[in-house]
Amino acid sequence: MNSKLRRAVRARGHFPHDEAALKLLFLVLNRSEKEWKMPPREWAAAKAQMAVMFGERYSKAMSA
- For the stretch 1-38, pLDDT in tens is 778 888 888 888 788 888 888 888 888 888 887 787 77
Give the pLDDT confidence score for residue 58 in this predicted structure.
76
Q: Residue 13 — φ and ψ, nearest 5°?
A: 90, -90
Task: Provide the whole-model pTM.
Answer: 0.54
What is the C-alpha to C-alpha distance for residues 49 and 11, in angstroms, rounded to an integer?
25
Per the structure, the count of domains in the chain is 1
Residue 17 region by backbone torsions, left for phi larger than 0, else alpha for psi between -120 and 50, else beta: beta
Q: Look up the domain containing 40 and give its range.
A: 2-63
